[in-house]
Structure 1
Amino acid sequence: MITSKAPGKLFIAGEYAVIEPGFPAILVAVDQFITVCLEKSTEKGSISTYNNEPIFWTRNNDKLTIEGHTNRLSYILSAINIVERYARELGRNLLYFDLRVSSDLVTQDGVKYGLGSSAAVTVGTIESLLKFYDIEITLDKLFKLSSLANILINDKGSCSDIAACVYGGWIAYTSFDRKWVLDKLNSTTISELLSLEWPNLSIESLIPPKKLNLVIGWTGLPSSTTNLVDKIRDRKEKKSLIYNRFLNDSKKCLEKMINAFKSNDIDEIKKQIQINRGLLVKTGNELGVKIETPQLKELCDIALKYNGSAKPSGAGGGDCGIAIFNREYDLALLIEEWNESGIIYLPLKVYNRIGFN
């Protein structure tokens, strides 16, 4: 049996702006995982996710034919289609397999923490299939194949969560030109597309200051990233001055934050976290999108009270917030006050990738 794990992720800063090619964000991979298990089968295959009953599939002229409703399998099916198109280019014969997905990124009741489960499912599925078809894996290849599968489902996403899942640790990321990539996908082979430089794409590993402590709180309320991003996109044309100012201010903030990582300056990182929070809240209010809910505001304000720096992580509207502290600071009072406010402390650690599991 082949097994692959892909980590969850959290945004540190740069949300919304990173959707536009060339605008930076900082993300981190965390030690909660999607696990994908894949085993060869004969005559038909199956896909099962999160304790749901398996859905069976067959092939018709190498094309995967599936029984039943497939909406919840959209990212998995897109991943399969991309890898198998690539496998055929390399002369591989397509096979049947059973694929199972389990997750640490949801509660026992199936509620998502907001740690990027769609990205992790995509990356884990593609890594398992590359192993299954005995295709060499590199980080660049895994990222690009996963991004192709992702943008065929949602061409508005930045694929920053894919980058965090693939590379692990702390990363600075700028998104590629998705239109260019999709045009190339329709006009050339995947093998050729993988060999090309993608316009605007940048993925850089960051080393945090040794005394930096990342603390994560969860509101218990899931949010819809796609819905919130769509609202911003729908309104940016009518309020282009506001949106363009936000993009430029976010870029300046992120460039300062990235430099602060490189110079081991925790105080500057904390300062830019607060600036980024302010930009997101202000722009959300101006565009009529509630990014910082009352509970996320409380999460951040409590962290500030204890000398931290905090902001919502990701699209906002629920899910998680992140806080940055100096490592020597005792977090007991913070966690206690978060709990009293209905905010759940998540004892997650940064996940650094070592090879392919």
Structure 2
Amino acid sequence: MITVKAPGKLYIAGEYAVVEYGFPAIIVALNQFVTATISPSDTYGSIVSKQYQENSIFWRRQGDEMVFDNRDNPFHYILSAISLTENYAHELGRNLGVYHLGINSELDSADGKKYGLGSSAAVTVATVKALCQFYKLPMDKPKLFKLAAIAHLSVQGNGSLGDIAASVYGGWIAYHSFDRDWLQTRLQTSRLTDLLAMDWPDLKIDLLTPPHDLRLMIGWTGSPASTSHLVDKVALVKAKQRGEYQTFLQASKACLKRMIAGFEAGNLSTIQTELRQNRTLLQTLGDFSHVTIETPILKKMITIAENAGAAAKTSGAGGGDCGIVLIDRSVNPQQLLKDWASEGIERLNLSVHTVADNPVA
């Protein structure tokens, strides 16, 4: 049996702007995982998730096609990852097999609460990773990112794919998104093998080292949010508010450039200053796009953290889910946590999943 893991993630800064190609974001991988297991089968294959036991699906092989017995299933990302990875295997001359694929996610709570940790990206990465081992396909992190990004994009249709990058690379990363129109054109004309070997326009993934005095804390608001729906809403106002939107994009890029320099210099104060600036930019975006990025409870979470001397903001698309706090390790966070608890804000006891712990194999 093959077993692989892919970590969840949280956005630190650069949200919304990173959807436009070439624009940067900072993302961190967390020590909660999606685990995929795969073992060969002689007859029927299965795709089983502990989270969706009542919706497990069964399939058989008809030539090189997977034929499904279940007509309705929740596993769109898994199926997309399977389809794409098997196309890659086929291009490399592998005989396609039948197997049992098991998926187990730690990224949502045991009672089904959604934390917004990028479960769809981690599921996609774990599935691709498991199948690459099953078929003994040549794979490194850049190829794994590209394969998982294509699979994820074909389902979600929008987004920057930064969550895929975090799940593949681990640790803290600076991510610049690639030109997705270029990719869609290339998908029509290029073999996957060639596409995975190409340089993708504007794609850049750099590992960051956080300052020793930086502590990351995560507060969960208790209300889930849909990233793709919020990104759709902002996309609708781009044409109408073109000037304001372009101003937001350029200000976000400048802010992230300064923040990345803060990581490179090991300067927590610079990082905190730019995190606050990024929050202000996102508030402006929310105002002119009429999208609620910072909900009242997220605002309370941030205010409590700022009063404790930390820098804080929403994470990801906002609208619910998590907020992140960057605080000096010398500051005792007990009063902050007590004030959070009184507002119904839960601290997620997560830590950073480091690069060394995130091998491809």
TM-score of the two chains, using structure 2 as the length reference: 0.97
Pairwise CA distance, 1:51? 4.4
Using the alignment, how far apart are the partners of 1:122 and 1:115 within structure 2? 13
Partner of 2:35: 35
Contact 2:33 2:122 in 1 (8 A): yes
Partner of 2:275: 273
Match of 2:257 among 255, 258, 262: 255
The equivalences for 1:230-241 within 5 A come to 230-241=232-243
Using the alignment, how far apart are the partners of 2:32 and 2:220 within structure 1? 14
Partner of 2:103: 101
Pairwise CA distance, 1:60? 2.2
Pairwise CA distance, 1:154? 2.2
Using the alignment, how far apart are the partners of 2:53 and 2:320 within structure 1? 26
Contact 1:214 1:322 in 2 (8 A): yes
Partner of 2:197: 195
Deviating more after overlay: 135-144 vs 68-77: 68-77
SS at match of 1:47: strand
Contact 1:2 1:39 in 2 (8 A): yes
Residue 356, structure 1, aligned to residue 360, structure 2: yes
The equivalences for 1:95-134 within 5 A come to 95-134=97-136
SS at match of 2:53: coil
Percent of residue pairs bearing the same amino acid type: 48
SS at match of 1:233: helix
Using the alignment, how far apart are the partners of 2:147 and 2:168 within structure 1? 11
SS at match of 1:329: coil
Unaligned runs of 5+ in 2: none
Contact 1:155 1:178 in 2 (8 A): no
Partner of 1:52: 53
The equivalences for 1:276-291 within 5 A come to 276-291=278-293
Contact 1:212 1:266 in 2 (8 A): yes
The equivalences for 1:278-357 within 5 A come to 278-354=280-356, 355-356=359-360
User: Cα deviation per residue 1:270-310 (whole Å; 9 max; x = unaligned)?
Assistant: 00000100110111111100000000000100000000000
One-letter identity of the residue aligned with 1:20: E
Residue 91, structure 1, aligned to residue 93, structure 2: yes
Using the alignment, how far apart are the partners of 2:75 and 2:32 within structure 1? 21
Partner of 1:223: 225
Unaligned runs of 5+ in 1: none
Contact 1:292 1:316 in 2 (8 A): yes
The equivalences for 1:122-201 within 5 A come to 122-201=124-203
Contact 2:7 2:167 in 1 (8 A): yes
Where does structure 1 differ by over 3 angstroms across 4 or more consecutive aligned residues? Answer: none
One-letter identity of the residue aligned with 1:38: I
Using the alignment, how far apart are the partners of 1:279 and 1:203 within structure 2? 23
One-letter identity of the residue aligned with 2:75: L
Pairwise CA distance, 1:71? 4.5
User: Cα deviation per residue 1:24-54 (whole Å; 9 max; x = unaligned)?
Assistant: 0000000011111111112221111214132
Partner of 1:13: 13
One-letter identity of the residue aligned with 1:45: G
One-letter identity of the residue aligned with 1:137: M
What is the RMSD of the two structures over their aligned residues, measured on CA atoms?
Answer: 1.0
Contact 1:51 1:102 in 2 (8 A): no
- Alignment length (residue pairs): 357
